[in-house]
């Protein structure tokens, strides 16, 4: 009888301690969506501020006006297997994103109307097929001092896990002199769920990546002035 009297309170005490421990652990492990959202928002804000500061530092480099006044030939193409798609009308919206940022920094890219009026499609192809003679001839006729060649490729598909459309975008930009000497090479990758409008999301991703890419190009372009 005496042992039973001791066992019952002991079991009660053990259960009390275990339940209390489990309750505390459960409370500590509880995930708060609102707290995570706030944390993500704070991180995004910090990332955006850091990127803005980095861009400002890049575009603050001194750049002589004579360099800014030189003409830049901006061309964009897309590689499919072993072929280049180079019709500039196809990439008009992408070109506008890059061109507007170059102009905002005081640089002088040719307009697409000027390019198509002065350069034949075969000569545009030459820039992407690494035909230096044809490319140089076209550059001289147009009066360009530099060529900014861009490759913007997109890959669309369906995410097998959540069964929604997604798109990935790769951007490569190379700035060179008409002789072929490379002044700057930059690249970026982005991907996102795209809903039903894949081209629109691809354009959105290009806009998101364009600022730091063009800022780095500008920095390289202006810093290389001392050697030219």
Q: 21 CB contacts (<8 Å, ≥6 apart)?
A: none
What is the rounded distance in angstroms from the CA atom of residue 24 to the CA atom of residue 194?
Answer: 42
CA distances from 187 to 50, 121, 167, 196 (A): 19, 25, 17, 27
Structure tokens that stand for 13 in this block: 């005490």
Indicate if the alpha-carbon torsion angle 59, 150, 74, 48 is positive or negative: negative
pLDDT mean over 166-172: 89
Which candidate, 63, 85, 68, 67, places its Cα nearest to that of 76? 85
What is the rounded distance in angstroms from the CA atom of residue 88 to the CA atom of residue 113?
Answer: 10
pLDDT of residue 63: 94
pTM reported for the whole predicted model: 0.75
Which candidate, 103, 95, 106, places its Cα nearest to that of 68? 106
pLDDT of residue 27: 44
Inform me whether the pLDDT recorded for 81 exceeds 50: yes
Give the lowest-confidence range in 11-15, 105-109, 223-227.
11-15
CATH number of 64-227: 3.40.50.10610
Where residue 35 falls among pLDDT bands split at 50, 70, 90?
low
Inform me whether the pLDDT recorded for 178 exceeds 90: no
Where residue 40 falls among pLDDT bands split at 50, 70, 90?
low
Percent of the chain with pLDDT over 70: 79
Where residue 228 falls among pLDDT bands split at 50, 70, 90?
low
Cα 113 to the center of its chain, rounded Å: 26
What is the rounded distance in angstroms from the CA atom of residue 183 to the CA atom of residue 97?
Answer: 21
pLDDT of residue 216: 96
pLDDT of residue 179: 82
Inform me whether the pLDDT recorded for 41 exceeds 80: no
pLDDT mean over 10-18: 42
Inform me whether the pLDDT recorded for 73 exceeds 90: yes
What is the rounded distance in angstroms from the CA atom of residue 102 to the CA atom of residue 175?
Answer: 12
Give residue limits of the domains in the chain: 64-227
Where residue 210 falls among pLDDT bands split at 50, 70, 90?
very high
């Amino acid at each position: 009888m005496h042992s039973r009297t001791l066992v019952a309170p002991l079991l009660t005490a053990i259960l009390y301690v275990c339940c209390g421990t489990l309750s505390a652990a459960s409370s500590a492990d509880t995930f708060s969506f609102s707290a995570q959202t706030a944390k993500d928002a704070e991180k995004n804000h910090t990332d955006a501020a850091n990127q803005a500061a980095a861009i400002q530092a890049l575009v603050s480099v001194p750049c002589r006006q004579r360099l800014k006044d030189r003409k830049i030939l901006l061309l964009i193409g897309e590689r499919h297997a072993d072929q280049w798609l180079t019709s500039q009308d196809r990439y008009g919206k992408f070109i506008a994103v890059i061109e507007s940022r170059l102009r905002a920094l005081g640089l002088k890219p040719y307009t697409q109307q000027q390019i198509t009026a002065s350069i034949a499609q075969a000569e545009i192809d030459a820039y992407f097929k690494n035909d230096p003679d044809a490319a140089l001839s076209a550059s001289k006729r147009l009066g360009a001092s530099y060529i900014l060649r861009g490759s913007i490729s997109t890959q669309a598909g369906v995410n097998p896990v959540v069964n929604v459309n997604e798109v990935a975008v790769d951007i490569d930009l190379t700035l060179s002199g008409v002789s072929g000497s490379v002044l700057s090479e930059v690249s970026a990758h982005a991907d996102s769920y795209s809903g039903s409008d894949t081209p629109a999301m691809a354009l959105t991703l290009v806009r998101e990546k364009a600022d730091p890419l063009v800022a780095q190009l500008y920095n390289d372009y202006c810093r290389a002035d001392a050697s030219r």
